[in-house]
Amino acid sequence: MTGKRGRPRSAETQQSILTNAYELLLEEGFAAVTVEKIAERAGVSKATIYKWWPNKAFVVMDGFLSAASARLPVPDTGRLMQDVRLHAARVASFMTSPDGKIITDLIGEGQFDSGLAEAYRSRYFAPRRLEARQLLERGRSRGELRPDADIDLAIDLIYGPIFYNLLIFGAQPDDAYVERLVKAAFEGLLAEP
């Protein structure tokens, strides 16, 4: 009988590590969080954390994702523009919340930490982009988008300005801005009635 090396991951221990990593992130910011602090607060050894995560960036990102994943549901109203408007408004609202501020902090820190940059790109932004892609592809399958619409470019046109305003100007896009943005982006994307 062959078994796996080491002890199995305890769900309670894992959740404690993720919760404490997230709380430290909120309290101190990414730069001040250390594996030592996470371990101390969670009541585990550093070795336990390193057994499950390769570095601080991954455990912090998992803590963030664990706390934030339910806050960005993907809508399905049956109408593409309404779905995209809701999704983009939720993204903008989330990014201006205390949780969203974490992402902007992580983006800043990622300029100096390539492991962190890879973690937030692959584990936060790639799934959000996939959600947007699924919304647009669902709309195309219902005949709401032109068949030749460039989905990737559409995602850039819709979501890029939100991040540009947040990260470059520190502006907080409201629902009216998102509505104008989505309407302008869709002018060239919608199928003829």
The full set of domains in the chain, from first to last, is 11-67 (1.10.10.60), 80-187 (1.10.357.10)
Cβ atoms 86, 75 nearer than 8 A: yes
Q: In the predicted model, what is the mean pLDDT of residues 140-144?
A: 93
Is the pLDDT confidence value at 27 over 60? yes
Is the pLDDT confidence value at 5 over 60? no
Cβ atoms 95, 162 nearer than 8 A: yes
Cβ atoms 158, 107 nearer than 8 A: no
Sequence-ordered alpha helix ranges (H) in the chain = 11-28, 35-42, 46-52, 56-68, 80-95, 98-110, 114-120, 126-141, 151-164, 175-186
Nearest C-alpha neighbor of 107 from the set 93, 91, 124 = 124
Tell me if residue 190 falls in helix, strand or coil. strand
Q: In this predicted model, what pLDDT tens digit does every residue of 161-177 receive, in sequence order?
A: 998 998 888 888 889 99
**Measured in whole angstroms, how far is the alpha carbon of residue 68 from the centre of its chain?**
8
Separation CA 142–CA 125 (nearest Å): 26
pLDDT averaged over every residue in the chain: 87
Separation CA 126–CA 131 (nearest Å): 9
Q: In this predicted model, what pLDDT tens digit does every residue of 72-109 receive, in sequence order?
A: 778 999 999 999 999 999 888 888 887 777 888 888 88
| Greatest pairwise CA separation for the chain in angstroms | 65
pTM: 0.76
pLDDT of residue 77: 95
Cβ atoms 85, 182 nearer than 8 A: yes
Percent of the chain with pLDDT over 70: 92
Q: In the predicted model, what is the mean pLDDT of residues 149-154?
A: 92
Percent of the chain with pLDDT over 90: 47
- Residue-wise over 42-55: b if at least 16 C-beta within 10 A, else e? bebeeebbeebbee
